[in-house]
Homo-oligomer: A and B are copies of this chain.
């Protein structure tokens, strides 16, 4: 691992353990035993580090349209992978809107990606309808499911936090149960 990559890794871990607000570039430098000057040789500031971590996360999660799940079973497999990546970068989901308030470049990047992500969620739902796993006739119900899945993927760990439940690598898995429950009323007879 290069020095440059090691800084990103140390930042990610510190952000997850504490918060981006309380982890300064000085703390990050200290965590891997380099000088603040050395860190700033590689990265301009904390915002740049956060942005690069976000881009790294995105690369680990985005599927091409060809690879999108075509059944509920493969959707769940895909969800398990996504949960692992989200857990790796959990600081991002915890602080999202505050991060945007501090960095509009990150905000613009994320919104653009998230709109594309919603199109993929809709495509997956269409796949499940075509393959007769779901039956949804009302366009409004599809809108609801897209919102519901998007809301839970972005904020389910926040929900756990706000009801005082432990947020750990196991409990965040419950989002799969949540998306299943959201789709349940729309399952075809063969899937029930």
Contacts and interface: CB of A to CB of B under 8 A. Distances in A.
Interface residues of A, number: 42
A96 B96 CA distance: 10
A157 B122 CA distance: 21
Given A21-B102, A144-B178, A96 B185 contact: no
A93 to B, nearest CB: 9
B22 A101 contact: yes
A152 interface: yes
A119 to B, nearest CB: 11
Interface string A56-82: 000000000000000000000000000
A66 to B, nearest CB: 24
Contact of A21 (B96, B98, B148, B182): B98
A94 to B, nearest CB: 5
A21 B114 CA distance: 25
Given A141-B181, A151-B152, 6 more contacts: A21-B98, A98-B98, A143-B181, A147-B159, A148-B178, A151-B151
